[in-house]
Every structure is written in C-alpha cells, then in structure tokens.
Amino acid sequence: MCPTEQVKQLNSLEPSAPETQPLRASGIHARAGWAAAIIFANATFSIAAPTCALAANAPDMVFARLGGEQGLSQGGITAIVQDATGFLWIGTEDGLDRFDGYELRHFIHARGDSGALPDNWIAALARDTSGRLLVGTDNGGLVWRDPASGRFRRPVTSAGRALLNPELKIRALYVDRRQRLWIATRAAGIWLLDLAQGTSQGFRRIPAAPNSLSDDSTFALAEEASGRMWIGTATGLDRLDPESGRVEQFGARLRAAGAPKDGTVKVNALHADARGVLWIGLDSGLARFNPSATAFTMLAHRDNDPGTLPDGRVTALLEDDEQRLWVGTSNGLVLLDRVTDRCTVWRHDPANLNSLPDSNIVSLYQDRSGLLWVGTKTGGVARWNPRSWSFGHHRFSEAEGDSVTSFAVDSRGVLWVGSFGAGVASIDPFNGAVKRYRRGPEGPFALHDDNIMAVVTDDHNRLWLGTMSAGVERLDLSTGKVTQFNYAADDPTTLPARGVMSMLRDAQGRIWVGTYGGGLARIDPETDRVFRYPNGRDTASALPGDRATALAQDRTGLIWIGTDGGGLNVLDPASGRIAHFPHDAKDPTSLSANTVYAVHVDDQGGMWVGTRGGGLDHAIGAPFSDVPMRFQNLAESEGLPNSTVYGIESDVGGRLWLSTNRGLAVVRPQDRSVRGFRRSHGLQSDEFNFGAHYRAPDGMLYFGGPNGYNAFRAEHLLFNDKPPPVVLTDVLKLTTSVTPTPELLHDLAVSFRDSAVTFRFAALDFTAPAENRYAYRLEGFDAGWTDAGNGRQATYTNLDGGKYVFHVRAANSDGRWSDLPVSVNLRVSSPPWGSWWARTLYGLALVGVIFSVWLAQQRRLHREATYARRLQRDVDDRTAELAERNRDMELANQQLREASVTDSLTGLGNRRRLRDAMAVLYGSEALHPERRAGPVARCVLMIVDLDYLKPINDQYGHEGGDAVLIQIADILRRVFRSVDTIVRWGGDEFVVLCEHADLEGASVLAERVRSAISKRLFQVSDGSVARASCSIGFAPVPFIPGHPELLGWEQVMNLADAALYQAKQARNAWVGWGGTARATELPSLPATLAADPAAAEKQGFLVVRRGPLNATDTVDEMRRLQAPVIR
C-alpha cells in the first residue's frame, strides 16, 4: 500500500476510543518456538499454546479451488488419486474427472459401451505398481483403465471369467505391499484380488463366529507393518490375518475406550502411521491404537475447547510426507499435533475465496509434488501447497489489525510489529506471547495514535514509534512512560509535521524522522532536542519536498532520504550539505522515478533505491564526488514482477528481496536474475505496504502487508525440486482431435491433406499451473528449442513429406525443468505429386526442358554475336567520326577561350586574364596561412605605363604606336618569368602579376623593365625609330604581410596605381610600396596612404622603394630626365 492510500484510510477513520485492554495475546504467535518449530525445523506443525488462541488463529492456508465453475463434473468428491503418468483423477458422485492442471476431461457411464464406466458414482480410486488406475463404483463393481486404449476393463481370471460380482457396492480400495488389491464393500464384506494371477478371495461375517468380520458393511482399510489388514466396519474395527484368514474384533475395546456404547461404532477411515500407530476415524471422533500398548485412546470434541476435534464425523485420514497427520471431518480440516493431541482447524469462510470451499471433508490425498488435495461433500476439490508455510505467513485476528506497517527487534530478541489501526504488538521469541500497545487514556503504556508507521528501538529499553497523526512517541518499556514529540506551528523546536512516514536510528544513536508535510527532522535522544531541516524546491540546500518516505545511513555516515515526488537526496550531517538526485527523462542514468519508497544499504555497502513506477535502482558512485553519481535500473522488462518497490532487504547470501504490488521478488545482484513469489507460494498477499520491511540481527526477513506479514529465512525456504512430468493432452490434425495414446506417440502419421498439425501439452505439476513454462522443438524442422513461455501448444503448417520428431519439455513454477522431454515420432506422407516416381518424371522433364532451353539459347547467342559484330563495326566508324569532330570543337573552344583572355594586338593577356589570375590567387593557399604549413608567399602587382606614346601616335599614326606596344610586350616577356602574368590593361598601360616576389625583388624587376625600355630604339615605320620611357608603380599582394583579408586585389591595384602616379611625376622612374604590420592599426588604410604617403612612410606604416637605382633617388631628379627622341 502506498502512502497516499494510507492517508486516505486515516481520513476515513472515526477517532477510536481508548482501548481498555492495551495488552492482548494473539494465537498465531502464542506457541513455543513458532519460527523454528512451525516453519524452519522440519516443516512439521508442532503446537504448544493456549488452545483458545490457537484455534481462533490457525496458520493461513491458501487453497486453490476446483469446482463446477472450472468444469468439475459434480461437487461431491469421493476419492482422489494420481496415476503413473501424473494425471490427477477425481471421483465424484456423478462421473470421473481427469485433471492436467488446466483442463478437466470427463468419463461417464455410457449404456451399451463396455469400455465406459459401469456407474457414474465413483466410490474409491487406487493405483497399483503396474500403473493401472483402479476404479470402484457404487453400483457397478470394479474396473481398471487400460492406459494404451483409454478403455475401462473388468478384472478377469486367466480363463477370461469375471473375478468379482459386477454389481458390488465398493467403498474402499487398498493395494498392499504384495501388490494385491483389497476391496471394502457396502454389503459383501472384504475381497482380496491378485490381478496378476487372476484370483480372488472373499471374507464375510459369519454369525456367532468371533473370528469372522464384525459386519459385512465395510468402509475403510489399512495395512500394518506385519502385513495384517485393519478393516473398518459399520459396527466396529477388525484385524485380518491374510495368511490364516483369522479375524480379531476390536469393537468392544473401542467402546470401552470411550466410543459410543450403543453398539454403533462405525469406522469411516483408517491409517497406520510411520510409527506403527493406528488412527481410526469414527462417526463420534478420532481414536488412536498403539499396538505395543494394546490400548485405545479417544480424541473427541469438547465444548468450549477449540483445541479439540470439531463437532462431527471423522471421514478421512492422511499422513503427509512430513509426517503431519491431517484429519478430515464433517466440520472442517484438522491438523493434529500427535505430541499434545491439540487440533488446528480450517473451515470454509464465505468471505474468503482462498478458504476451503466446503467444511464437510470427504477425502484427502497428497500428490507426488507434495500438494495436499481436499475433497469436500458439496464444494468440489481444494489444493494447498505445504511449502507455502516456509514463507511464514502470520496474521493477527481481524479485530487486532492485520495491516502491518513496520518492524523492529529489540536487544532481548522481542519482535515489535506496527500496524495500521491497531497500535504496536510485541511477540516474545521464547513462548510466542503477544502484547499489544494501543491508544488509550493517559497512563502507562497508553499511546496517542493506533496508526503506527515506523518502529525503532534503542539501547535503553525504549521504543520509538512514528505515528500517522501524533508525531513520534517514545515508550519506556521499563516504566510504561510515553514521551510524545509532536508538531507545534509556533515552535521550531518541535517536529515539522504530525504525520511520520519513516524513521531511522543512525550509528550515533540519533533518531531521524521523515514526516508527511514537514520534510526531515532529527531528535537527539540525550537531550530530546528536535532539529528541523529546511525543505522547498526553491533552495538548493533544502530537501526538495516535504514528504520523506525512506531513510538510510550508508557506511560513510551520510543520510540517504527518499521523498514522495522529490527524488533521492543525500545529506551530510557534518556539513549540512544536501545532494539532489531527481529523475531526468532525458538522462537514462538518472533516478528512474521521483517517488522513492525504499533505500537500502547491502552488506557490501552498495546502495539500492526502490521507486514508484520505476523499479529498482542501483546507485553507482559517491554523492559528493566530482564524478556524477549514476543509477543502473532493473525494471519489469528485465523480469521484475512489478515496477513499484515498497521495501528492500538483503538475505545472508547477499540476494536482494523486494516487496511490490505483485508479491515478493528476489534479485541476484551478480547477474541481475529475478525470481518472483506470489500468494500461492505462501505470501500474506500479492500486495505489500511501504515501509513494512526489516531484517533482524539473526537474518530473519520480515515483510508486511494488508493481510499480516511474512517472516522467513531465505536459506530455509522450501521449493519444489521434483521435475514435472510432461504429457501430450491432444493432437489436432488440421481440426480433427486425436487422442495421444502410446501407439500414437510412437508413430503419428499425418496426411498431406492435413495442412496443419497441432500438439497440445501440459506439465503435470499442480502447484501453480499458470506459472509452468514450456519449450518445444520439431527435430528435422526447427534449428533449436522454442521457448513457449506459458503457452501450451505448438502448431506446424505445410510440412514437407518426411519423418520428424516432436519434443516438448516443461519447468514447474519453481523453475525445475523436466529431466526428459516427451517425444512424438511424426511421419508426414507426401502427396502423389511428391512421390519418388513423380519426382523422377519431374527430373526427366526438367532435363528435357533444360536441354531445349540450352539449344535455343545457343542459337540465339550465335545470331546475337553476328549482329553484335556488325553493329560494333558501325559503332566504331561512327565513334571515330564523332571523336574527330569533338577534337575540332575542343580546339575551336580552346581558341575562343584563349582569344577571350588575350589582347589581340600584343598577344599578351587582357584584363579578364588578370581577373582570373587574381581570383585563383585569392582562393589559393598562397595568401591564406591557415591553409598551408609553411611561410606565407607574397606576390607583386606592377603597373607599367609608357611616358611618351602620344607624340609617336601623332607623328606616325596609330600604326606606329601599335608597333611600339608590340615591342614593349616583347621586352616584358623577356624580363619577366613564365609563371608571371603579363597583361595589357589598356592603351599604353601594362600590368604584371609577379609570383613569389617581394618589394626588393620587384624593385630589381622594375629597374630592368625601365632600363630595357629607355635604351631601346623602337621601329615605328620603315626606317624610322623612336625612343620611349616608362613609369612603373607596384605594390605587394597581400599589401600587409599576413593579412590578405584587409585589402582585395582591386584595392592593391589602386595602391600600385598611386605609386605609379608618384613615378609619373618624374617619368622614366618607378615607385613601389607596401604596408607594415603597424598598418593594421589604420582605420582606413587606402585613404590614408593616398592622402599623404610621405607621412605614412615617416610614421612607419609604409615601406617605399624608388628608382632608377643608378640615378638620384628623388622625385625632382626623375623629372629632369630627357623625353624620348623621335627621328
């Protein structure tokens, strides 16, 4: 039960009046050594306790019912037996039923059918060592079932004659040590059959003969160790010696021992136990006969003594494999303590669907897996798993409150159990005595609230109780004094809220209190001072929520706090720091949910967190570490039975036990394997309460819920380790059902017309059939085993003709797999078109078809080859023709491309070629240091402008000027390298992009150009020559070293043009300049240089080079150079 549900229940409760008897005993615990004697020692039920408490609070037995709603033929169960295969046979007053754990198959009388039952009233059932099922009927005598054919047959002599009267009214069957069958009849005495020899012998009452039966009406049989047979009759008890045929009558002794003296000593049931004691079930009670003492003892009902037999007839007796003696009566099922002769009784409870379906018990049986089967008069069959008692289910009476919320064990070994609505109870470990402490008037031991949410003990014989509405109460067990720590709105030294959700006593003895609505508090037991811790989502140093649901202290002393909606938090008590670990939907390593119900420290110091809806989390890392703590989750998808974990405890073997809304789960941390347990295993309920979990110092585990609690040692739990028998229950050929007889299993023939075959199977383990698991494989078809889970059938369709073997195996609810699978030899016939001769014809036809196809293919290939050769010739000719045309077009395109970037007069490049070169340069690694590993290369843009071309044009015309330009182009080609780009920019102006050059190298090149032009006599017409000079300006690219991004090439071109302007002032000169690293400081570099280059040079922004190199290096001297002479 979650905290919210508990609060709702509290709000619905009326204030209870103080109880006048705060101490009250509860019978389930009022027995000596209850934990060891009942559950863990040898699974026997030994009770020594006040009888009134015992009978009123019998240990819980969870019965599974099988009645008319489940398909049982009739509710009156006369006999139960398990056959050699493992099927359970149930005799009723109207037919015989076979149960496979899931379905019932009915067998009834059919008139005219000699292989059917002779009568529907089944009076007795037995099984001999040969595996035959023996059926005794009320009005049809005895039959046995042939397992091969499934038919019922009558026993006959070697000559084929009937061994028995077919109209015998049979009442009991018994197979003795010599495998002879004893038959008790309603009016024909006793019959002894040797079925192997085909012989029979009758024993009847002979009037006035004391050595004969006391009555021909017989009802019960038992065999003592000597081989003599005990016979219960309608008027007494007899013992028969089979060898001599002599009979001893014990009716008089029974009456003398206390049986009714009116002569009606009717014996309904007999059992000779393992100690040799004979138990006699009578209409008037139960008698015990000890042959060594030759004395009878009567155990009868006594009014006002619930520890005696219930009022009614004893109808059945059974000693189970743990030597517990069960007694069926007409007023309940009894477990007898043969040491004390005390009785524990279970009856039908209309309000409890897990109780007996009827209190009138008719038959008892224990199957091979240890289950107890109870046949009733009108309610059908009930089954109970004795292993469920190993989980130690304990209940208080309904008035004392069964909803358990908390546990603690004090230094004396006393168990304290907190409950919802019934205060706290103490259970003495030596005698099981129970004392209850409840709400009452002010006084010793009187509490203020009956809703106990947490229990903690200290070293001073004091009990600390967290309540739902009265804060924390400290009970001094020596004086009875109750000290209350409650909430006061105006007092910060009190608890922050009245409702307590969790408590913890840490290693220092301090009491930590998690409240509902107030967050966390701490109580100092020495001073009784209360310290509150802040809570609120707005403060990182506070608890992000006001409901502290779980508390734990790790090995380092940190306090781990689970909250309702605020995730997991860790408090360092020394510094007051709080680390928060909320759920983050985007982070799979975060806490799986924000509501935490349990925090657990395992024996190795590992931290585990149980959440609501998120499963189990394992905390990995340290809370205050630099490395973030992460969580590894285990959820339902990995086998957890439920995603809400209310409690976590470690057993002595290191496994984790979890309480959930679907029972308990045990987890092995090493491999994360999970195993679940439900109410059918003996749990108090499938649902548990949050906070109701505890591990005692002796290793006992406690888990509480709405129906009491479980107390057990994990290492002492009992499980079903018997491999379950597996059977085929049905075979379907398409839709036709076929009974799976032994012959069928050996050779199951399936026609090709049956397009599907279905196998249905069952594991004959009845503990929890819904939890049995199956795996199957069809050898010859499946590569491996198919895990069918809980599914019980396998279907195969359209199987090829041939032989197969179907295998199926099963595991019981405790995971024990069958040793050997059941196998079926399957033979699927092939259709006529799949026979050997049909396949031969198919093969010959296929060969013929293949040859015909091959021959046609060869002819086609020949034709295609001839055509392909002809076509290839045409293609080659056409390809050659197209290739010639492509070469011509490529050449024309190349000429066009070259013409588009070439000056038609000089053959140099034009402006377009320079732009293309600059685009390549600015996109290359040359200007971008981040693109190359070595130093940055620089280039230079140089402008060459003729000084006196106009006079030549004026005198000789443009033809003369063009001749000079052509010769200038030749000079430039000789001076510059092939890698440099030389273009005619326009008119008499040329531009050169000098690759891998700096200002110094450019100065040399400029001087060469100037000198070559000034010394050249240019041919301008026939016999006429002229002189010319040039002015040159240049600038590096990038203009500032290492910063190509500051100026584009057009801006560098403008700066080179500005340098040319300076050179033009003198003519026949050159000027080059480049920026320094300081130039990056100028806001507008081009404008500054253009405005006053001298100042820029003086300030260190500019580096300037001037020429000619062999002349005076001033502008005024350059102006005095002679102009070109024309002659």
Which positions are catalytic? 988
Distance between CA 68 and CA 588 in Å, rounded? 51
Contact 596, 514 (CB under 8 A): no
What's the token pair of residue 987?
């008119």
C-alpha count within 13 angstroms, C-beta hemisphere, residue 643:
11
Contact 24, 434 (CB under 8 A): yes
The Cα–Cα gap between 680 and 354 comes to 10
- Is residue 208 left, alpha or beta, with left meaning phi > 0 and alpha meaning psi from -120 to 50? left
Q: Which residues are CB-contacts of 520 (< 8 A; sequence separation ≥ 6)?
A: 496, 512, 513, 514, 532, 533, 535, 543, 548, 561, 571
Tell how far CA 328 is from the center of its chain.
Answer: 44
Q: Element (H or E) spanning 877, and its range?
A: helix 836-900
856-867: b or e for each residue (b if 16 or more CB lie within 10 Å)? eeeeeeeeeeee
**With contact defined as beta carbons under 8 Å apart, do 225 and 267 qualify?**
no
* Angle, helices 999-1014/949-975, rounded to nearest 10 degrees: 130
The CA distance from 512 to 503, in Å, is 6
Q: What is the DSSP letter of 717?
A: -
Strands 748-750 and 822-828: parallel
CA torsion angle for 329, 333, 338, 342 (degrees, to 10)?
-90
CB atoms closer than 10 angstroms to residue 371: 21
The first and second tokens of residue 346, run together, are 């279970």
Q: Which sign does the torsion angle of CA 441, 446, 449, 451 carry?
A: negative
H or E segment to which residue 246 belongs: none
Contact, 1089 vs 1058, CB < 8 A? yes
Q: Mention every residue, 6+ apart, whose C-beta is less than 8 A from residue 1120.
A: 1066
Among 638, 631, 625, 629, residue whose Cα is nearest residue 611: 631
Q: CA-based angle 635:641:646, to the nearest 5?
A: 80
* Rounded distance between C-alpha atoms, residue 422 and residue 436, angstroms: 8
Q: Is residue 997 within 8 Å of residue 1037, measured between CB atoms? A: no
DSSP 495: B
